[in-house]
Amino acid sequence: MAKITPFTAVRPVRDKTHLICSRPFYTYSKSQLKSKLESNPYSFLHVINPEFDKSDRTIPNSTERFQSIRTKYQDFKNKKFLVTDEKSIFYLYRQTTSYGVFTGIIAGASVKDYQENRIKKHENTIDKRKKVFKKYLDTCNFHAEPVLLAYEPSNKINEIILSESSQRPEYKFTTTDKKSHELWLINSSDKIQELIREFENINNIYIADGHHRIASSSLFQKSNPNQEKGNYFLSLLIDQNDLKIFEFNRIVKNIGGLSKNEFLENLEDCFKIENLKNHRSPGSKSEVCIYIENSWYLLKVKDAAIKSDIKSSLNSQMVSDLILKKVLNIENLSSNTNIEYVKGNQAINFLTKRVDQNVGSLGIELYPHNIEEITSIADIGENMPPKSTWIEPKLRSGLTIYEY
Q: Are residues 238 and 290 in the same domain?
A: no
Q: Are residues 229 and 304 in the same domain?
A: no
Q: Are residues 256 and 185 in the same domain?
A: no
Q: Are residues 55 and 130 in the same domain?
A: yes
The total domain count for the chain is 2
Strands 402-403, 142-143: pairing is antiparallel
- The pLDDT assigned to 3 comes to 97
Q: Are residues 229 and 307 in the same domain?
A: no
Segments forming the whole domain that contains residue 275? 246-390
Q: What is the CATH number of the domain that holds 376?
A: 3.30.1760
Q: Are residues 163 and 189 in the same domain?
A: yes
- The pLDDT assigned to 336 comes to 87
- Report long-range pairs for 253-259 (Cβ below 8 Å, ≥24 apart): 253/338, 253/339, 253/340, 253/358, 253/361, 254/338, 254/360, 254/361, 255/292, 255/328, 255/360, 255/361, 255/362, 256/328, 256/329, 257/360
> At residue 98, what is the residue type?
S
Q: Are residues 165 and 295 in the same domain?
A: no
Q: Are residues 210 and 302 in the same domain?
A: no
119-136 tens-digit pLDDT = 999 988 878 889 999 999
Handedness of CA 149, 49, 68, 79 (dihedral sign): negative
Q: Are residues 257 and 322 in the same domain?
A: yes
189-203 tens-digit pLDDT = 999 999 999 999 998
Residues of the chain falling short of pLDDT 70: none
Q: Are residues 226 and 341 in the same domain?
A: no
- The pLDDT assigned to 333 comes to 79
- The pLDDT assigned to 64 comes to 96
Q: What is the CATH number of the domain that holds 45?
A: 3.90.1530.10
Q: Report the C-alpha dihedral over residues 4, 81, 211, 338, rounded to 10 degrees.
A: 170
- The pLDDT assigned to 41 comes to 96
- The pLDDT assigned to 124 comes to 80
Q: Are residues 45 and 173 in the same domain?
A: yes
* Interatomic CA distance for residues 404 and 389, integer angstroms: 30
Q: Are residues 97 and 144 in the same domain?
A: yes
